[in-house]
Amino acid sequence: MTELKLDSLNEIIKTPKKTAIVCHKNPDPDTLGSAVGLSYILRHFGSDTKIVCCEKLPARLSFIVDGEEILYSGDLSEFQRVIAVDVASPSQMGELDICCDRVDITIDHHSMNTRFSDYYMENCAACAQIIFKIAHSLGLYDILPLKFFEAIYAGISGDTGCFKYSNVTSETYVIASLLVEKGIDCAEINRLIFDSKSYGEIVAEKVTYQNMKLYSNGKLSVILFTNKMKEENNLTDEDIGDIVNHIRQIQGVSVAVSIKQSSKDETKFSISSRSNNDIDVSALCAEFGGGGHLRAAGCTVIASSPDEAESRVVSVFSRELK
């Protein structure tokens, strides 16, 4: 991958081409908001665009991509250009990783050991923040429609936990202020992202509180979610998407980890981790081939049983919590 400067990236963006914009698996407000935002910019310059994601979007986030057609297939041959947004590594493309060599440009903000991105911005709370800066530098602030600004806000608010995480900088607030000035309904966007849950998500929280475990003298909280637990409680993968954030709230916990068995392949376990302090969970996830941010990272573990997955994850994470 080559490292691009903003000027050369802008020149590329101004060249009209049929473009696929690829989101990361387990899509969140930032990857979706960045994709929608970039779509508006590219279409302004005459490109035909389509957003591509390997996984179905959670229903509660569909408002971000309202009016956009999403492509779920891995066949990108109809496109002249492929741009990935908020994708930290090829594995984050999920089943689309087979199209990895088709990706022309990646725009991202994740701090990774192995850099996958061409256009990378350090200390950027959200990829959507980068997309906003691109639009601003291209003089589009007074031109793009409200939906662009709503999508950018959703991305930034999503990745900052509603402006409360340590990744927030003064620039995040400056950009948020420019978005609010546009007349977006930020209260409603935040309600839809943070304060609206399906019944299944509430049941998933109950099951999480009943089954979570503490290790390392209470510094490590872990929830193992097996397929059996999902079946018994009639839960979908979407319902359990966010559970790691609940067990990180426990006082004394430094690191929280969720281990979720794949519904498609019972030997695959997807790990989400959160750090409440300076323990770098992206480095720990990198030991399993994953990555992410210092305080929020993920990976996939292959194991013959749920217990094996848990003990392997606990042994790596507890090492840092002596």
Q: Name the residue whose CB lies closest to Mn ion.
A: 30
List residues binding Mn ion (CB under 5 A): 30, 86, 127, 159
Nearer CB in complex with Mn ion: 159/310:
159
Collapse the DSSP code of 156 into the 3-class scheme (helix H, G, I; strand E, B; otherwise coil) and give the result: helix
Min dist. Cβ of residue 180 to Mn ion (A): 21
Longest dimension (CA), the chain: 58
Min dist. Cβ of residue 119 to Mn ion (A): 14
> Would you tell me how many other CB atoms lie within 10 Å of the CB of residue 253?
20
Min dist. Cβ of residue 31 to Mn ion (A): 6
**Which residue type does 154 have?**
A
Which alpha helices (H) appear in the chain, and where do they start and end?
6-14, 29-44, 127-137, 146-159, 170-181, 186-194, 199-211, 227-232, 244-247, 281-286, 306-319
> Would you tell me how many other CB atoms lie within 10 Å of the CB of residue 206?
10
Q: Round to whole Å and give the CA distance between 256 and 248.
A: 5
Nearer CB in complex with Mn ion: 86/201:
86
Nearer CB in complex with Mn ion: 159/201:
159
Nearer CB in complex with Mn ion: 159/238:
159
Min dist. Cβ of residue 120 to Mn ion (A): 12
Nearer CB in complex with Mn ion: 45/173:
173
Min dist. Cβ of residue 128 to Mn ion (A): 8
Identify whether the C-beta of residue 83 lies closer than 8 Å to the C-beta of residue 22: yes
